[in-house]
A and B are shown apart, each in its own frame.
Chain A
Amino acid sequence: MEIVYVYLKKRSEFGKQCNFSDRPADLNVDILPNPKLAAQFVERNPVDMGIQCSVSMSEHEANTERFEMETRGVNHIEGGWPKDVNPLELEQTIRFRKKVEKDENYINTITQLGVIMEHCIKQNNAIDIYEEYFDDEEEVEVTEEASSAKTINVFRDPQEIKRTATHLSWHPDGNRKLAVAYSCLDFQRAPMGMSHDSYVWDLENPNRPEMALKPSSPLVTVEYNPKDSHVILGGCYNGQIACWDTRKGSLVAELSTIEFSHRDPVYGSIWLQSKTGTECFSASTDGQVMWWDIRKISEPTEVVILDITKKEQLENALGAISLEFESTLPTKFMVGTEQGIVISCNRKAKTPAEKIVCTFSGHHGPIYALQRNPFYPKNFLTVGDWTARIWSEDSRESSIMWTKYHMAYLTDGAWSPVRPAVFFTTKMDGTLDIWDVMFKHSDPALSLKVCDEALFCLRVQDNGCLIACGSQRGTTTLLEVSSGLSTLQRNEKNIASSIFERETRREKILEARQKEMRLKEKGKAEGKDEDQRDEELATNLEEMVAKAEKEFFDIIFAELKKEEAEALEKKAKAPKKLSLEADEEEEEGEEAGEEEGSDEEKSA
């Protein structure tokens, strides 16, 4: 129903004033209650209702004017003197004082007070209550807590067919993401239908990977570009190098041509420090190290063949399993090979033969991890076979420090970016070992069983606190290390460097001694002429001694004879002189006599 009111007015009446008038109320609508609806309601009995019946009061604030207060004291100078004493007159004041002093009360009071006062004075003299103890000592932060590491998160491979997590890379800014490369490293035993995907995980969400990287062949290594955090480099199982831009999606952005790529899986790939931020290099077991520019990824910019005989023969080349590059030493890089040799190379060498600078051999099996110490780049860590070894560039014959031979194969290792004396290793039995060189050499400082299957790779976050390790079944575990292992201890840098230097020196001494022994051996092998020569030398010695003695006595006798001869000559001269002067004669005669006497003594 539409309620409408029509208002009619004559045109001539427009503008007329309004005349209001009263009229009684007019009931328009009356809606009575419907008793049937009452059935839908429940009667409420009793009903509680609060009412207040009290004096209504109101609150009102008023700010009065500030009341200014002033503290004043009256300094009573020379007041208080009794009326009869004039304070200015010395005599009167003295007299007054003397009077007071004679008062018995005064004497008692002062004696008493004196006792108390003396006590306090002595106290003051005995101890300085405001003394600061240990002022110059720094605050010693003693971390009594035992070192520990706890698992924070576990990221499982979402695929049905589990693949090994072969490589990890932390996101360069903020470390909130982790890229994990999944592949199956068993030769030709990759199960059918195994997915080629690798994932980028967000640490907050372990249930689902944040992004998938879809190459044509499974990725063996994955690396974030440290300069541009959207670019990810991946090394494939078939030897190609692939590049992703996370902004563009999961599909490969750039891919190297298969003819120019490696012939074997790419086991190591690292971004280089360059102005463009697009250069990287990779190594593979086919014995080649290739440099790439991702803007033109179809061909490598440079290829080095790891032939230590320096003949550039691919057949002789050693297969590379790990690669090392330190941005502070941009022209040098190191390669760890399958044969257990570390090759140190110089990129800026003129001829390809000179690229290979030196080799370090010491492992029995492939070197799975190779890293320079971030604080002391001269020392580097290698992990391979059943040991982890620390090397110094100066000592080429052997490593300076090594762990004992473990029961399980070591698969990966890394230095802590925060503490120069701490490094981590993973083993085939699923344990993560944390070694503290300052603390103990024989055993790891902390050994944790992370999972039941073998651990394959390890990566430490830049703050030194979080470690991610990947296992054979594709499970990536995120661990947090206790603060004792991830904060720089006092003097740690000095102690660590002195440990490395000491070990290097020891190796050098051992090397030198070995060389000596080898030379001696060589000498012995050259025949017994050596022995004879030794004997001759011996007899010569005796002869020389006898000869020397003889010469010595000869000289002495010769001197004696000379003196005798001189004395005799003088004796001959003396009688002539006697005829010349009387006094002198006598003296000379006496002298001559004395000389004669002495000669006689000598000859006797």
Chain B
Amino acid sequence: MTEVEETLKRIQSHKGVIGTMVVNAEGIPIRTTLDNSTTVQYAGLLHQLTMKARSTIRDIDPQNDLTFLRIRSKKHEIMVAPDKEYLLIVIQNPCE
């Protein structure tokens, strides 16, 4: 478990990272550094988006699968690392 802690701490300590969260397949946030309401919002919305993205990739090529999802917006970048059961979501402010 300490590995998890370490990993998450390391990620959070990187330059520009605003928040980190881990969400499970049901959309329940397991671990988060942001406040509850934001987390819940992110979790719900990004979960759906990731599912859609994944299905798109698989529709185009069934052999293919989604490995990473990056959404760059005006204010920051949302990075989603999907897995079968969990989602690791990081919000970063890229150096500009």
Contact = CB atoms under 8 A, between A and B. Distances in A.
A575 interface: no
B67 interface: yes
A532 interface: no
A101 B90 contact: no
Interface string A83-125: 0000000000000110011100111011111101110111011
Interface in A107-147: 107, 109-114, 116-118, 120-122, 124-125, 128, 130-131
B27 A79 contact: yes
Interface in B32-68: 40-41, 44-45, 47-48, 67-68
A101 B7 CA distance: 13
A510 B31 CA distance: 87
B79 A120 contact: yes
Between B10, B22, B70, B77, the greatest number of chain A beta carbons within 10 A of the residue's beta carbon is seen for B22
Interface stretch (A69-77, A152-160, A416-424, A491-499): A69-77
Contacts of B44: 75-77, 79
A80 interface: yes
B48 A73 contact: yes
Contacts of B31: 97, 101
Interface residues of B, number: 41
Interface residues of A, number: 33
A542 interface: no
A531 interface: no
A75 B4 CA distance: 29
Contact of B88 (A75, A78, A117, A125): A117
A110 B7 contact: yes
Contacts of A112: 83
Contacts of B26: 79-81
B28 A81 contact: yes
Contacts of B11: 114, 117-118, 121
Contacts of A79: 26-27, 44
Contacts of B95: 124-125, 128
A114 B7 contact: yes
A111 B92 contact: no
Contacts of A101: 1, 4, 30-31
A390 to B, nearest CB: 54
A481 B32 CA distance: 71
Interface of B: 1, 3-4, 7-8, 10-11, 14-17, 22, 24, 26-28, 30-31, 40-41, 44-45, 47-48, 67-68, 70, 72, 77, 79, 81, 83-86, 88, 90, 92, 94-96
25 contacts: A73-B48, A76-B27, A79-B26, A79-B27, A80-B24, A100-B30, A101-B1, A101-B4, A101-B30, A102-B1, A106-B85, A109-B84, A110-B86, A111-B7, A114-B81, A116-B81, A117-B90, A120-B68, A120-B70, A120-B79, A121-B90, A124-B94, A124-B95, A125-B15, A130-B72
Q: What 3 A-B pairs are tightest by C-beta distance, nearest first?
A: A80-B26, A114-B7, A113-B81
